[in-house]
Amino acid sequence: MKITKIFYNGAVYTVDGTWTKARAIALEGPAIAAVGTDEQILALKEEGTEVIDLKGKMVLPGFVDSHAHPSWGGTELLYKVDLFNCKDAEEYPKRIAAFIEENPNLECIQGVGWVNPHFPPEGPSRFVLDAIRDDIPMAFDSGDHHSVWANSKAIEMAGIDKDTPCPEGGVIEKDPRTGELTGTFREAAQDLVRKVIPDYSAEEYMAGILKYQEVMASYGITMSHDAMVDGDGPAYEALLRLEKEDKMLFKMNASFTTYPEDPFKDAEQYGRYLAETDGTMLKGKHLKIFVDGVVEACTAWLKEPYANRPDYCGEPVWDEEELKKVLVLADKQGMIPHFHVIGDRAVQQMLDVLEYVERVNGPKERMPLAAHVQLLDPADLPRMKKLGVAVSADPYWYVKDPGYYCKLELPFLGEERVSKEYPMKTFFDAGLTVASASDYSVTPVPKPLRGIQMGMNRCYPEMDIEDPECVLGKEERVSLRQMIESFTINGAKVLGRAGETGSIEPGKDADLVILEKDLFELPITEIAFTKVCETICRGKTIYRG
């Protein structure tokens, strides 16, 4: 194959093992052929080679979002009421009513983005929704996807009443005065409502995923991880079809979710999943496990009681013995565990289970992935290192948000614990592989450049980086170099694809992002506002700004 494209006169940061800096890159179709000086690379020009003058722009490996929800997020972009960024509780019904007016023929209304700080502890009320429409089911996911707000029609169709028992690991919220259902269902209880909400078709998921990729490409993303895929569902069918039909804009990984209600349902399918997703663009290497819930719903599992509930530490999602059996089977077949862990007690159970798997199956190269890790007992760090645990961190959340931090996390956890939440430098210092992620659409605008700046400054880009009322855990700030690694090579490592992407090296795929300015020459308060000029996946431009 000939040299198809040359970029020269740029600031090329390879993010290889020694952080080699170059001026130019030559592409050979979908792959990187050479990296070097302008003279070295321009000498490779052949007849028909496209030559691009970067005019000093920065080139990095394409960004990796190591934990997101493209399948959900795509349908949210196309088919659901957008409830993100409502200023108060009164704005939600206005947006829902406007959506229904624009879509009068829908037989079910869905949406996403409401937040707990706008409502009392028992969550939003079904009667607010009933006042809009009480003849069709409505169900709205919270912004963190750990709660559902439903109207009375959906609750009736689901056969739920005030005497319905809470499923293990779930909460059915009730009015503290009357004992009646409020309309809010948390964690495992969400499925009681979701079972009557029709799923989207494979074709609708395909359209949604492509819309998601189009938006993410504009942020410089060239690989993402769908962190919750049902191996029997239409979203998985959509991913397989997009790969087979060569329609994906960029690379995707999938985590197959296993639930404690039927823990061995997919056990015989792990090998099939690995084989079916062994494509160029799609890989399915991970098994997703929820170890606990979230702090804002009091479903995170803590070592010490909640500050607002001194007799309660939360509860595990899984019976530990069952979880051990599932992960032993998955490990034997080559699946990589991908844990949702929020509380410090959940982290401890994750490590206990991983130690058991190693004792039973023997030592081998493993990189289990721990997502979020909001609270950590430092005593558990050595075990994380020994077991090869990598972290998928969420720098977009490293801020003293007036909603979640002030109204929920501070009163729920107490000042001492909340001041230490979401460590990052701690993980780097311990020698762990740290990748960054958005958990999209929990983070509705997951621009990696914004995440990079927030990981460095621990506050929103619009805020004062020295104001203690804005900065969350100043001691956990990390460097620009570490943040870039977390969004590039480390993302590729935790997804098992570092051999093909994550750095700019000959033989790897040409997955690149071109930025208007060199981030290393900018003030640390301007990184988030840098323009993405071009995004390239396997040598093909998928976005140009």
Q: Which architecture characterizes domain 202-494 according to CATH?
A: Alpha-Beta Barrel (3.20)
Query: Are the C-beta atoms of residues 426 and 382 closer than 8 Å to each other?
Result: no
Neighbouring C-beta atoms of residue 34, cutoff 10 Å:
18
Residue 142 DSSP symbol: E
Q: What's the confidence (pLDDT) of residue 126?
A: 97
Residues of the chain under the 50 pLDDT cut: none
Query: How far lies 48's CA from each of 2, 5, 51, 509, in Å?
Result: 9, 9, 9, 21
Does the domain spanning 69-194 belong to CATH 3.30.470.10? no
State in words which class domain 5-61+508-544 has: mainly beta
Query: Are the C-beta atoms of residues 305 and 311 closer than 8 Å to each other?
Result: yes
**Termini Cα distance of the chain:** 29
Judged by DSSP in three states, 74 sits in: helix
- Which of 109, 79, 74, 135 is closest to 197 using CA atoms? 109
Distant-in-sequence, close-in-space partners of 232: CB < 8 Å, separation ≥ 6: none
**What are the sequence ranges of the domains in the chain?**
5-61+508-544, 69-194, 202-494
Query: How far lies 501's CA from each of 36, 450, 505, 538, in Å?
Result: 18, 22, 9, 9
b vs e for 393-418, b when ≥16 Cβ sit within 10 Å of the residue's Cβ? bbbbbbbbbeebbebbbbebbeeebb
Q: What's the confidence (pLDDT) of residue 105?
A: 86
Residue 298 DSSP symbol: T
Q: What's the confidence (pLDDT) of residue 144?
A: 86
Q: Which tokens sit at 136?
A: 């069709």
DSSP per position, 230-262: -TTSHHHHHHHHHHHTT--SSEEEEEEE--TTS
Q: Which tokens sit at 280?
A: 């160029």
Largest CA distance in the chain: 79
- The runs of H, that is alpha helices, within 310-386 are 320-332, 344-361, 381-386
What's the rounded Cα separation, in Å, for the pair 56 and 456?
A: 24
Neighbouring C-beta atoms of residue 52, cutoff 10 Å:
16
Distance of CA 458 to the CA centre of its chain: 18
DSSP element (H, E) containing 114: strand 109-114
Q: What's the confidence (pLDDT) of residue 404?
A: 86
Is the bond into 438 cis (omega within 30 degrees of 0)?
Answer: no
Residue 94's φ and ψ, nearest 5 degrees, are -65, -45
3-state SS of the chain: helix, strand, coil percent to 5? 35, 20, 45
HSE on the CB side for 345, CA within 13 Å?
A: 20
DSSP per position, 392-416: EE-GGG-S--TTIIIIIIHHHH-HH
What's the rounded Cα separation, in Å, for the pair 30 and 512?
A: 11
Residue 417's φ and ψ, nearest 5 degrees, are -70, -45
Q: Which tokens sit at 521?
A: 């020459």
